[in-house]
Amino acid sequence: MALEQNVRIFMDKFHMISPGDKVLVGVSGGPDSVALLHLLWRMKEELQISLAVAHLNHMFRGEEARADARLVEGLAKNLGLPVHVEEFDVPAYRERTGLSAQDAARRVRYRFFEEVARRTGASRVALGHHADDQAETILFNFLRGTGLAGLKGIPPVRGKYIRPLLDIRRREIEDYCREHSLPVREDASNKKTIYTRNRIRLELIPRLEADYNPRLVDALVHLGHICREENDYLEEQAALLYGRALKTQKEHYLRFAVTELLSSPPALVRRVLRRAWRHLTGEVDLSYLQVESLLALLHNPAGGKVVELPRGVRASRQGQVLRLWIGGDAPGVPDYSYPLEVPGITYIPEINSSIKARLISIDEAPDPRFLSAREALLDFDTLPGLLAVRRRRDGDRFHPLGMAARTKLKKFLIEQGIPREERDCLPLVVAGDEIIWVGGVRPGEPWKVTPETKRCLYLQILEGKVPGAKIIETGP
């Protein structure tokens, strides 16, 4: 009864099951999955759930595997539960894909669970991983040099997958099976030390328990709980940083604000870089050395260097922008031109920025000397035409504040040290044919505020699409 109570408490802690759920139980025929099925069967009335059983023969062990399937079918029949048993030639799949035996089996097994859950309408898939599996996984990940994400081990809940036995020791599960006379089968491959995980389970953990810590498994399980909670918190913070630093996000192209990243803790920046990698590739993670190469790039103010990463991903820093993309050269900013909302906020999707424009009296105006490069104050009544915001174009000319005459915009940007890759990312606010502000750099001389100014146009560049921004429809 103590085991059943502990499982129920663990399930409640992680909100694994709700009344009305249909739970598909993956049963291999081993003690862990058999005990899980029996426990859920005993609780099903109290939990108000329905159960179904799923078993996949991976076709590695011939008659032994078929005997496993027969045992699962018989157990489900005795419990009055529907059972879904299928075969898949994993050895042939492994040959085609080049995967290891264990990885190939895992991928096929989860695909099988997904399909059966879809067919049966199951909202949860219960699996029999236990505390010894958790300790083995954490130790395996530690030996690979993983971070918190690996040391958190197997998650109690991941999407529809739940693991009610994850805090229960293997010996408790085996005692439960004996107490209830449950039929079980042992997979002989679990005893083969050709697999790293098996050597950890059969050789390393017993040695560490004997010579260093008899409660090693409990210690590793506790470590997993701590690392999972701290990893979840850091992931939440990294998601916030990702949103603040992101300047452009497309399917195969990302741009981040270097200053935002460099002002943040490295622990969060590493996670932002891994998120960027996942966005571009769909892959789970980068290696430690690959992440460090991106960090080194981020800290290199000279820029120009391109870091080559797997899956065709490239990265470079240009000025205050970190770019990651797939393919050849990083894509440029497409041409755009939008009417400027005055007063109001105009969103520019091509550079994922917004221009906020306000009309204020000279008495309300801030001192132009103390404005940042992302702000501008102009004499509204001297502007020579309708206001718009657009990308730079060939032949653009500009009269910068503090200079005696107009000059080529390209020449001006070169003299200001703006890298070529960043120039198209600067929003130009224009009045008619005149550039009145090179956003992020400098306003125009002819429209500066003077003692005769009565109304001021106050402009700000804001990151991303801010609340209240007007989105201009550009057509198909």
Contact call for residues 317 and 297 (beta carbons, < 8 A): yes
Burial 319-355 (b: 16+ CB within 10 A, else e): bbbbbbbbeeebeebeebebebbbeebbbbbbbbbbb
**Per-residue pLDDT at 304:** 62
**Per-residue pLDDT at 474:** 45
Instruction: Indicate the SS3 state at residue 25.
Output: strand
How far apart (Å, rounded) are the C-alpha atoms in residues 381 and 114? 65
Instruction: Indicate the SS3 state at residue 30.
Output: coil
- Degrees to nearest 5, angle at CA 389 with 384 and 390: 115
**Per-residue pLDDT at 475:** 38
Answer positive or negative: Cα dihedral of 275, 280, 284, 287.
negative
From the list 63, 107, 58, 111, the residue with the least C-alpha distance to 86 is 58
How far apart (Å, rounded) are the C-alpha atoms in residues 400 and 406? 7
**Per-residue pLDDT at 302:** 64
Instruction: Indicate the SS3 state at residue 401.
Output: coil
Residue 358, amino acid: R
Distances (CA, A) of 433 to 390, 393, 396, 405, 410: 11, 12, 10, 16, 17
**Per-residue pLDDT at 330:** 61
What is this structure's pTM?
Answer: 0.69
| Residues 6 or more apart whose Cβ sits within 8 Å of residue 298 | 258, 261, 262, 269, 317, 322
Instruction: Indicate the SS3 state at residue 424.
Output: coil
| Residues 6 or more apart whose Cβ sits within 8 Å of residue 363 | none
As a whole number of angstroms, the longest Cα–Cα distance in the chain is: 96
Neighbours of 62 (CB within 10 A): 9
- pLDDT per residue rounded down to tens, the chain (476 residues): 589 999 999 999 999 999 999 999 999 999 999 999 999 999 999 999 999 999 999 999 889 999 999 999 999 999 999 999 999 999 999 989 888 888 899 999 999 999 999 999 999 999 999 999 999 999 999 998 888 888 999 999 999 999 999 999 999 999 999 999 999 988 766 777 777 888 999 999 999 999 999 999 999 999 999 999 999 999 999 999 999 999 888 778 898 988 899 999 999 999 999 999 999 988 767 888 999 999 999 998 766 688 888 888 999 887 678 989 987 666 667 889 999 999 999 998 887 789 999 999 999 999 988 899 899 999 999 999 899 999 999 999 999 999 999 999 999 999 998 877 678 889 999 999 999 999 999 999 999 999 999 999 999 998 777 787 766 554 33
From the list 439, 462, 421, 464, the residue with the least C-alpha distance to 249 is 464
